[in-house]
Structure 1
Amino acid sequence: MDFILPVIVGFAISFVATLLPGLLNMTAAKVSLKEGRKNAMFFAVGAAVVVFFQAYIAVSFAKFINSRPDVIEMLEEVGICIFALLTVYFLLVAKKKKKKKKKDKDMVKMRSNTGNFFMGVLLSGLNFFPIPYYVFISISFTAYGFFKFTNPFVPLFVMGVVAGAFTVFYLYIVFFKKFEHKTDFFMRNVNYFIGSITGLIALVTLLRILQNR
């Protein structure tokens, strides 16, 4: 159980976080449609490599701040501001979604010239959400006994995270064409979903800080 739990936890939280239509999984699906599954798999591998380093950095940082209650309190206060700004940003950007179609076409052209693997690395590296996400998850799960900052646990957790993200990429690559017509709603409203999540996190964090004082 000590070897299965970290993999399951890492896989589950990564799968849920990556499942919502976003830049990485939608790009993987588009590569599959335009250039075939093989090229899309190279893109997915490149993105998953970066996810590995992001998860490991996040857990290492979480291990440091977990022993510093003062740092955790400061980060929570900073996090409220950041998530509040992100909420406003995504809710405003959602209204301008249609204006970004030309930019998406340019990215397709860039991808074919640069190489799918390195484009996966680049786009995944530009995605800064995983690091604070896994920091928050690992610290929160520690309080409930679902996470441990031990040597066997952390590598297995990171492996689960990578497996969860890659599984979502694979599902988008294989099944996107069948459900493509059903993703239009999500793509039109994805920023609203993300903005709602960040707003909820900011609200919950604020209430927890006020309760502890």
Structure 2
Amino acid sequence: MTIILLFFFGFIFSFIGSITPSMLNMTAIKVSLDNGRKAANNYALGVSIIVFIQVVIAVILTKYILNNPTIIETLEKFGIVIFSFLSYYFYRESKKGKVNINTEKLKKENAFLTGVILSVLNMFAVPFYSGTIVTLDLFKLFNYDFIPVMFFTLGSVIGTFYILFLYGKFAKIIQQKTGKLTKDINLVLSILTGFVAIFTLLKFVF
């Protein structure tokens, strides 16, 4: 049951973490509009392969961090600041208008490579998954054994691929409604990250 839960958590956190309009999913829209759904799927595959590596790195780093209680407490305090900042950031982004999508053509044969490169350049991936793992570990919901880690990683990879697949599939609709989509999603993320910051702060107060 634990490995199924870890797969589910990996999928959900990865899906939600990638759902807000960003460099990766805006590029998925551009690839789909310029070169079609097949190219968009190749792009999503390229991104997802790198996500596999990033999640594994995050697990290794997190396991090392958790072996040092001083680092954990420091990270939790630091997390309050980070989540507070993210809450403000998403709230501010929710007030903005339509996100512009660059219409410059991408070569179809480079869609997969584009996904790989952009995913490598995504500096927030490893810290995001480390934060996810730390949160799950605090609630005794994470297992560092090989098989559970692989299920969590697989869930994360599929979650990332699926959200990019959806962005590619509904590219035209999303392009037309990006303004409202961005506002609604960022407002929800602002509330969620604000809640996490408050919850973490309450842990230290009580």
Question: What TM-score, normalized by structure 1, do the two folds share?
Answer: 0.78
Give deviations 1:13-34, integer Å, cap 9, x for gaps.
Answer: 2223333444322321332122
Q: 2:204 aligns with which of 194, 209, 212?
A: 209
Amino acid at match of 2:33: L
The answer on 1:199 being equivalent to 2:197 is: no
Are the structure 2 counterparts of residues 129 and 178 from structure 1 closer, same or farther at C-alpha, using a change threshold of 3 Å? same
Give deviations 1:8-56, integer Å, cap 9, x for gaps.
Answer: 3322322233334443223213321221112111211121122112211
Query: Which structure carries more helix by proportion?
Result: 1
Alignment check: 8 A CA contact 1:19 1:168 kept: yes
* Within-5 A mapping of 1:26-45: 26-45=26-45
Q: Which residue of 2 aligns with 1:61?
A: 61
Equivalent-residue separation in structure 2 for 1:166 and 1:197 (angstroms):
23
Q: 1:129 aligns with which of 124, 129, 137?
A: 124
Equivalent-residue separation in structure 1 for 2:196 and 2:121 (angstroms):
22
Amino acid at match of 2:134: I
1:97 Cα deviation after fit: 4.8
Q: Which residue of 2 aligns with 1:116?
A: 111
1:166 Cα deviation after fit: 0.7
Equivalent-residue separation in structure 1 for 2:144 and 2:13 (angstroms):
17
Alignment check: 8 A CA contact 2:62 2:134 kept: yes
Q: Which residue of 1 aligns with 2:52?
A: 52
Percent of paired sites with the same residue: 37
Are the structure 2 counterparts of residues 7 and 121 from structure 1 closer, same or farther at C-alpha, using a change threshold of 3 Å? same
CA RMSD in angstroms comes to 2.9
User: What SS does the corresponding residue of 2:144 show, helix, strand or coil?
Assistant: coil
Alignment check: 8 A CA contact 2:34 2:105 kept: no
Give deviations 1:59-99, integer Å, cap 9, x for gaps.
Answer: 1111112222211100112222233333444444555555x
Mark the runs of 5 or more structure 2 residues left unpaired by the alignment: none
Alignment check: 8 A CA contact 2:167 2:174 kept: no
Alignment check: 8 A CA contact 2:3 2:151 kept: yes
Alignment check: 8 A CA contact 1:50 1:124 kept: yes
Give deviations 1:92-118, integer Å, cap 9, x for gaps.
Answer: 4555555x63xx42xx42744993223
User: What SS does the corresponding residue of 2:146 show, helix, strand or coil?
Assistant: coil
Are the structure 2 counterparts of residues 141 and 90 from structure 1 closer, same or farther at C-alpha, using a change threshold of 3 Å? closer
* Within-5 A mapping of 1:26-175: 26-95=26-95, 97=97, 101=100, 104-105=101-102, 108-109=103-104, 111-112=106-107, 115-175=110-170
Equivalent-residue separation in structure 1 for 2:156 and 2:108 (angstroms):
30
Equivalent-residue separation in structure 1 for 2:173 and 2:185 (angstroms):
20
